[in-house]
Structure 1
Amino acid sequence: MTDRRRFLTGFGAIAGAVSAASVSKVAMAALPEPVIQTKPDTAAPLIPNTGRPYNPVVTLNGWTAPWRMNNGVKEFHLVAEPVVREMTPGFKAHLWGYNGQSPGPTLEVVEGDRVRIFVTNKLPEHTSIHWHGQRLPNGMDGVSGLTQPSIPSGKTFVYEFVARRPGTFMYHPHADEMVQMAMGMMGFWITHPKGKHPLIDEVDRDFVFLLNAYDIDPGAFTPKIMTMTDFNIWTFNSRVFPGISSMNVKHGDKVRIRFGNLSMTNHPIHLHGHEFLITGTDGGPTPKSTRWHEVTTDIGVGQMRQIEFLADEEGDWAFHCHKSHHTMGAMGHDVPTMIGVDHRGVAKKIAGLVPDYMVMGERGMADMGEMEMPIPYNTQKMMAGEGPFGGLEMGGMFTTVKVRREQKRGDYSDPGWFKHPSGTVAYEFTGQLPEPARASAPAGQSAPTTAARTPAAKDVEVRVRKPASGHSGH
């Protein structure tokens, strides 16, 4: 509804009573007006003009929620509601989220801030919010039935506590969690240090996003909430490549990337072209004695990681989950492998009955990226995205870090594709090739086995029986 780069300077009154959960002395005449955002673009950082200053973050394909100051308390208003999230152009999902989006807006505060969050429930069932990783009074922890009554549909509850430690946090429901998180209810929370911190360096760019996954059938809009392991849509902030924004930085910038995992499996996150340090986890900033350079870090379910690196190599550098099927989408998991199968004769006979029949997979899956096959309406393509040299054959959890010398400080706009200096791109070789060296030992062996040296030895055929139900539940 509004420009997300702007703070609200005034809030209209909303009629209705406020139901407070373990909150006293909150005599509020009116709620802060909720700020709603439905565009999937990456918003510019929200520079604070009230409260204590800090260096703001940039939420990948998201935004930071504005607040109002009320007698020294920083007040936010989150609305839990059904939303429509464009995951990539041509593919939208009917999810549940906050303030018009999934994930909800990032909340940014400063260490020591007293924070009051009004949570209005517009879902068809009760909910709550758990402030994942925070130190706070037990009655504000947001676990329905344990630390508070659930927030009924149509009601508003209040959470109030002091942001006691700086770090990278998340928020999500702890009510009907299997359904509500499968539907996309989650968001990021950043607590900035109140001053210079011995373990938290200042950076030039600070990006945040959540890892989440969905099971949405081709042509469908709503996730299947009963799925435990067999997901087919892998996302950064409920977006899939090529719908995920690039992270655009200036050459020489010190860059921080924070991410939390609210999917149902781990993700080894890999950065090309640079090494990074893990400078923060769920528990806060890491001691400097424990930091070493990596190019991949594995993040488990419910965990958060904060990495930092010096962007000193120009180019368009891939940033992705290293589980290969997490960089694809809308996959069928029970498709047989056809590599090496010559079925030209069978294909010819089938084509006589089904004129549009096409052979797929006998040379690998790359051919599918080139086929102009009709797909169901509102379906993510399996290997989408075009680069400067052709198809990227990527989807899902994939984006790029674009490092440019000409990028201005504070400029987050996309500079386009990298213009490679002459002689720095791999090319086809057309000269005389030397004979390649090849392994002489049997495959998988460092030396001949006894059976291989014995003339009388016979080959043993091993037959494997697979469960009739397949492997998808493993």
Structure 2
Amino acid sequence: MSTRDTKGLSRRQMLVASGIGVAGGALLASREARAEGPRPAGRNLPPGRPGRDYQPVVVPNGSKLPWKLVDGVKVFHLVAGELEHEFAPGLKALCWGYNGRVHGPLIEAVEGDRVRFYVTNRLPAATTVHWHGLLLPCGMDGVGGLNQRAIPPGETFKYEFTLRQSGTLMYHAHHDEMTQIALGMTGFFIVHPRQPHGPKVDRDFALMLHEWKLEPGARRPDPNAMSDFNLLTLNGKAFPGTAPLVAKTGQRVRIRLGNMGPMDHHSIHLHGYQFRVTETDGGRMPESAQYAETTVLVPVGASRTVEFVADEPGDWAMHCHMTHHVMNQMGHGLPNLIGVKPEALDEKVRKLLPDYMTMGQAGMGDMDEMGMAMPANSIPMVGGKGRYGGITMGGMFTVLKVRDRLEGYGDPGWYENPAGTQALSAEAAELVRDGIDVNGDPGVLDGGA
């Protein structure tokens, strides 16, 4: 091709025409398609309906934002304000959120929908709403001072755009982010694909991860904390306040995990199953890029989606595998007493402090069983009641409950383990049969040596 022949050609035309590579042309074409959206410019698709166009998402301990249809546009109303929120029984605080909730209600819509949000500010400070991960006009992006004037207290602003992608997305305040996100101003924005991807799911859960600094006795979380968060939550709840995820044996389950911070990534582990990581906040992953895991890392500011078939009944733990993220307030700032022998110390100290009890010499697993008086507005570091005793975890912990038979999706209670499928105390005859000397050297077993 001569120099003259290239005059008037765009860069994309030159790349394709010169044979620089099909991949380069495809990449540019993909970017152009993404900018234009999955529909002809200026044309909205018919509003997607729950049950007809998508399987509605389940929000344990949470809620969804209602909408109404006005001239083909889905209209929503978000109200930012202060509220009292209960993290777990006995632990409450004044937080900031939307529509009276922490976290804000889940927004659910369909690719191609035209959506309109009225945002009313009832906070004592200005705010905005950023639609995290959504492709939209710059002026709707919601960064205070950059894209718009911040919404003053008492005012209502309008955001409107067409949904140009699908995926597990989020929304949050983007004005004085350190304060407002830390106090709870986040939520999910789920956009279902117009044409469903992959196998149909039966149960579709959404869990927002968050961390807080709430000192015992305090009425408000500390938004200035940069480390040593002492309260870790799923959908605003810390165990034992978290609701279980309930599914029937054989159902296909999707779990959407969102993390708006403030500071830490979370390594979410599900017991009893291998799942496939199928989606990031960038959308559905090609099947060839999906991969099997039992633990998925959810970075700050990102979402991850996993899917699996619930083929094994039982009560299965799901939790952050960072061990300090499965404890509550009273597990932080304690002296290390492992191995300490207090002997007569308790008796001596009780002459001054009648309720004194030395604890932590063998760990904190029994703290919930000690019956000690707790400071005002605080809960033990670990502990919820399980079928077989105390569950020595708190914070970012819940239970996937899979059952062969269900009557609705309420909590079915604890799982009844079939005979021969549960760890029990070993009988003496069994130890003798298998040559196990509990007082001897375990190294004498040579089968694998």
* 8 A Cα contact 2:275 2:293, kept in partner: yes
Percent identical pairs in the alignment equals 50
Within-5 A mapping of 1:217-296: 217-263=215-261, 264-296=263-295
Aligned pairs (5 A) from 1:8-407? 53-197=53-197, 200-263=198-261, 264-407=263-406
**CA contact under 8 A between 2:330 and 2:379: conserved in structure 1?**
no
Cα distance, 1:348 vs. partner? 4.1
| Counterpart amino acid of residue 255 in structure 1 | V
Deviation string, structure 1 residues 244-295 (Cα, Å, up to 9, x no partner): 1100000000000001111210110000001000000011011111222110
1:142 and 1:175 map into 2 onto residues whose CA distance is 9
1:424 aligns with 2:421: yes
Q: What residue number does 2:25 align with?
A: none
1:447-468 alpha-carbon deviations (Å, 9 max, x no partner): xxxxxxxxxxxxxxxxxxxxxx
CA distance, structure 1, for counterparts of residue 219 and residue 211 of structure 2: 14
In structure 1, stretches of 5+ residues that fail to align are 1-47, 440-474
CA displacement, residues 182-236 of structure 1 (integer Å, 9 cap, x when unaligned): 1110111100111233xx4320000002101111111222101110111101000
Paired residues of 2:232 and 2:395 also in contact (CA < 8 A)? yes
**Distance between the aligned counterparts of 1:337 and 1:372, measured in 2?**
21
State the AA in 2 paired with 1:416. Answer: G
Residues 128 and 151 of structure 2 are in contact (CA less than 8 Å); yes or no, is this contact kept in structure 1? yes
**1:367 Cα deviation after fit:** 2.9
Partner secondary structure for residue 165 of structure 1? coil
Distance in structure 2 (CA, Å) of the matches to 1:52 and 1:158? 28
Tell me: CA distance 1:52–1:369, structure 2 relative to 1, closer, same or farther (3 Å). Answer: closer
Alignment-mate amino acid for residue 284 of structure 2: P
Asked if the contact 2:245–2:401 (Cα under 8 Å) also holds between the matched residues in 1, the reply is: yes
Cα contact 1:51–1:69 (8 A) shared by 2: no
Task: Judge conservation of contact 1:327–1:395 (CA < 8 Å) in 2.
Answer: yes
Q: Secondary structure at the match of 2:214?
A: coil
Q: Deviation string for 1:85-142 (max 9, x for gaps)? A: 1111222121010001011111111100010000000000100000000000000000
Shift of the alpha carbon at 1:436?
Answer: 3.9
Letter in 2 for 1:170: M
Q: Cα deviations across residues 361-410 of structure 1 (Å, max 9, x unaligned)?
A: 112212322111111232122112101000001111000000001025xx
Q: How far, CA to CA, are the matches of 1:50 and 1:58 in structure 2?
A: 12
Give structure 2 stretches of 5+ with no counterpart. 1-47, 445-449
8 Å CA contact retained: 1:52, 1:110: no
Q: Which residue of the partner structure matches residue 23 of structure 2?
A: none
* TM-score of the superposed pair, with normalisation by structure 1: 0.79
Counterpart AA for 2:442 = A
Counterpart Cα distance in 2 of 1:376 and 1:341: 24
Q: Counterpart of 1:116 in structure 2: which amino acid? A: R
Distance in structure 1 (CA, Å) of the matches to 2:347 and 2:384: 32
What is the aligned partner in structure 2 of residue 19 from structure 1? none
Equivalent position SS for 1:326:
helix
Cα offset for 1:425? 1.4
Cα distance between partner residues in 1 of 2:182 and 2:395: 17
Provide the secondary structure at the position in 1 that maps to 2:272. coil
| 3-state SS of 1:59 partner | coil
Residues 144, 174 of structure 1: 8 Å contact kept:
yes
Q: Distance in 1 between matches of 2:241 and 2:346?
A: 36
CA deviations 1:326-366 (Å, max 9, x no partner) are 11101353322111122314444334443432121112212
Paired letter, 1:168? T
User: What amino acid sits opposite 2:76 in the alignment?
Assistant: F
RMSD over aligned Cα atoms: 1.7
Measured against aligned partners, the alpha-carbon deviations of 1:435-455 in whole angstroms (never above 9, x if no partner) come to 34359xxxxxxxxxxxxxxxx
Give the stretch that moved more between structures: 351-360 or 234-243.
351-360
The answer (yes or no) to whether the contact 1:85–1:93 under 8 Å persists in 2 is: yes
* Counterpart AA for 2:282: G
Asked if the contact 2:50/2:56 (under 8 Å) is kept, the reply is no
Cα–Cα, structure 1 residues 203 and 50, in superposed 2: closer, same or farther, change >3 Å?
closer
Q: TM-score, normalised by structure 2?
A: 0.83
Paired AA for residue 400 in structure 1 = V
Compared CA separation, residues 148 and 338, structure 1 to 2 (3 A): same
Q: Which amino acid aligns with 1:313?
A: E
Partner of 1:27: none
What residue in structure 2 maps to residue 32 of structure 1? none
Q: Deviation of residue 416 (structure 1)?
A: 0.7
Code of the aligned partner of 1:185: M
Aligned-residue offset at 1:50: 8.0
SS at match of 1:234: strand
The partner residue of 2:409 within 385, 388, 412 is: 412
Gap change, CA 1:438 and 1:51, over 3 Å in 2: closer
3-state SS of 2:419 partner: coil
Q: 1 or 2, which has the higher helix percentage?
A: 2
Give secondary structure in 2 for the equivalent of 1:373.
Answer: coil
Please say if residues 260 and 303 of structure 1, whose CA atoms lie closer than 8 Å, have aligned partners that are also in contact. Answer: yes
More moved, 85-94 vs 206-215: 85-94
State the aligned residue count. Answer: 388
| Partner Cα separation in structure 2 for residue 361 and residue 339 of structure 1 | 6
